[in-house]
Amino acid sequence: MTYDPLSEVVDAPLSVSDELIRALADLRGAEKFLELPGEDTSIERGRLSAIFNGALDRVISGLKSNPRKRWFMAQIQPALAEIANGDTEAREHFGIYVEKVMDIVGIDSSDGMLSFYLGGL
């Protein structure tokens, strides 16, 4: 059996408002990963943004009907798994954006999930 870090996530209710959903939608519409180092990062920015926005779309579309921490982390998990073997800078910056979403949603800890996939964040 393969270890699933989602099993370590301590479930808790989330308070979801229209304002919270708007904040997530605003982040969804914003340019992301502009701070990636390097001369031409447009391809990597696009790739990371697509992965991140896909996870954010899942969260935005279902959070009101599933206002639970574990559900939220399950929506983020596929994106984390996709990034896990990527470049260190990409993983670090991706983690920063996931933490922004967690802050908006009111989640203080990923219970080790970010560290598992992104390596010690």
* Residue 119 pLDDT greater than 90, yes or no: no
CATH class belonging to 14-118: mainly alpha
Listed residue (113, 117, 115, 31) closest to 72, CA to CA: 113
Q: Which of 22-26, 45-49, 86-90, 106-110 has the lowest mean pLDDT?
A: 86-90
pLDDT (mean) for 57-83: 97
Can you say how many angstroms the Cα of residue 88 is from the centroid of all Cα atoms in its chain?
A: 16
Listed residue (28, 27, 48, 29) closest to 38, CA to CA: 48
Task: Please report, as a single letter, which amino acid is at residue 112.
Answer: G
Predicted pLDDT at 38 = 87
Residue 15 neighbours by CB under 8 Å, 6+ apart: 67, 106
* Residue 44 pLDDT greater than 90, yes or no: yes
Mean pLDDT estimate for the chain: 95
pTM of the shown model = 0.93
Q: Write out pLDDT tens, residues 30-41.
A: 999 999 998 899
Q: Could you state, in order of their start, the residue ranges of all structural domains in the chain?
A: 14-118
Are 56 and 101 spatial neighbours (Cβ–Cβ below 8 Å)? Answer: yes
